[in-house]
Amino acid sequence: MAKDTQPAGELLTRSEEQVKEPEEYRVLLLNDDYTTMEFVVSVLMTVFHKSLPDATKIMLDVHKKGKGMVGVFSYDIAATKVSQVHQLARQNGFPLKCTMEKA
């Protein structure tokens, strides 16, 4: 039923199709041969608020496997974090790459 034809006094309900869950995005970190392990750990701690043990674990996982997931966020938060990682990496002369994909 169209919204503007809803009878007065009736509870406004939406069909399942109309209710959009907020879309989530995985943020991934990519390995490279030039970014230092220390820098990756510091990025994970500052941008993603990881503890030192968690940041170290994620960094080593990415180092070994080529890429790895850092977290799942709304589109805007994910895009901001990707951009923060790239900005920090550029400022420090590292080619570190970070991407996002629909979860």
Residues that bind ligand TYC (CB under 6 A): 29-33, 35-37, 40, 59, 62-63, 96
Min separation Cβ 2 and ligand TYC, Å: 50
CA–CA dist 47, 84 (Å, integer): 7
C-alpha span between 82 and 80 (Å, rounded): 6
Smaller CB distance to ligand TYC: residue 22 or 53?
53
Between 10 and 33, name the residue whose CB sits nearer to ligand TYC. Answer: 33
Amino acid letter at 54?
D
Distance in Å, CB of 89 to ligand TYC, minimum: 9
2 vs 39: CA distance, rounded Å: 54
Shortest distance in whole angstroms from residue 78 CB to ligand TYC: 16
Question: What is the distance, to the nearest Å, from the Cα of residue 10 to the centroid of all Cα atoms in its chain?
Answer: 40
